[in-house]
Structure 1
């Protein structure tokens, strides 16, 4: 028998992810447990452990699923405005409880090689989704094909992480524009001649 997309498995995952987000809104990441997620989602705890071995793995999957929704790949017609839109969405996401949980999960799992590998895999998938921004910019002649797009993404998003999670400085609505303008203007080798 063929499985239908959007069947029971998808409904269970949606319920589990929603329960995870609700609980993250209500309590700190450290107080989150597989048992509380299962109870809130209305599923057996064993169902969670069949899909996710640890709380960290579940939270990483849930948060990555939410990132795709809340940090969409824009198409404004120009690289600068596309990058600003990405950073604006990222800023809002990282300031949310779910975004903060992503950072806490990353810190809590640095010593677990399998979860580091999972984070790298998810980042690779997200980077591939965002690559279209750079492909379009290259096709429009806005960006040199020699640009290291991964490095550019890391520079752009790294400032947000630094401000929000390391130095805990205020992030105003102008920061995404300032960051993009500084990086694009300061890196003349990024721009196609």
Structure 2
């Protein structure tokens, strides 16, 4: 009698741990959008995700790390790092993706959380300030921004390799110059984000970087 090899065990992609992580992060973003960062609690997120509160603490350890992971997951999907083959179009595409993300409920919630968690001038001074009430949220936001800079920094490093930007170009400064006007307009609403703003910002950043080194 011929023996047949056993059928391989077929595991569902990702498994339960991946599904739990996705559910919790989605719930955290929903709470962030609907109630804001100051009202986000691990218990509330766990209840919305349909998991035990201990499960959330076991995986993330703290509310701040949960907030950070949720913000990173949302921005990874909403703000992809482009690779168009040229630094100008890369910068413009990244600025446009940022503007589109900040126009979504999740993007606005993340941006508002950043303001509340910021330790910059004028931030963290009011009674509802996230920084005043929970300094670790400020650290979470700083980690979020560092992560985004690290991921988007490949735009500048590729440009240096192609000879479009000089060696020693300040990556963080380049991306801050590109993103700050978009973030300011999205948060304050004092001026619209015109369709050609991403290209204009890309040109300004490149002119500044090239002129600053060459001068």
Using structure 1 for the length normalisation, give the TM-score.
0.82
CA separation in 1, counterparts of 2:214 and 2:81?
Answer: 22
Change (3 A) 1:190 1:64: farther
> Is the 8 Å Cα contact of residues 147 and 190 (structure 1) preserved in structure 2?
no
> For residue 138 of structure 1, what is the aligned residue in structure 2?
160
| Alpha-carbon distance between aligned partners in 2 of 1:49 and 1:10, rounded to the nearest angstrom | 16
1:155: how far off? 1.0
Q: 1:23 offset after TM fit, Å?
A: 4.2
> Are 2:110 and 1:110 equivalent residues in the alignment?
no
1:157–1:77 distance in 2 versus 1, CA, 3 Å: same
Q: Secondary structure at the match of 2:80?
A: coil
How far apart, CA to CA, are the structure 1 residues paired with 2:180 and 2:44?
A: 33
Structure 2 residue 179 is matched with structure 1 residue 157: yes
Larger mean CA deviation between 79-88 and 138-147 belongs to 138-147
Q: 1:168 to 1:182 in 2, by over 3 A?
A: same
State the Cα distance separating 1:120 from its structure 2 match.
2.4
Matched residue, 2:72: 64
1:148 aligns to what? 170
Matching residue within 56, 62, 67 for 1:53 = 62
SS in 1 for 2:153: helix
Alignment of structure 1 residues 31-42 onto 2, 5 Å: 32-42=40-50
Query: Structure 1 residues 5-14 or 84-93, which shifts more?
Result: 5-14
Question: Quick check: 1:38–1:44 contact (8 Å CA) kept in 2?
Answer: yes
Q: How many residues align?
A: 188
Distance 1:170 1:147 in 2: 30
Question: Using the alignment, how far apart are the partners of 1:32 and 1:117 within structure 2?
Answer: 16
Unaligned runs of at least 5 residues, structure 1: none
Which structure has the larger Rg?
2
1:38 deviation in Å?
Answer: 1.9
| Contact map agreement 1:24 1:97 (CA 8 A) in 2 | no
**Residue ranges of structure 2 left out of the alignment (5+ in a row):** 1-12, 118-129
CA-based RMSD of the aligned residues comes to 2.7
Match of 1:82 among 66, 90, 97: 90
Q: C-alpha displacement at 1:188, in angstroms?
A: 3.4
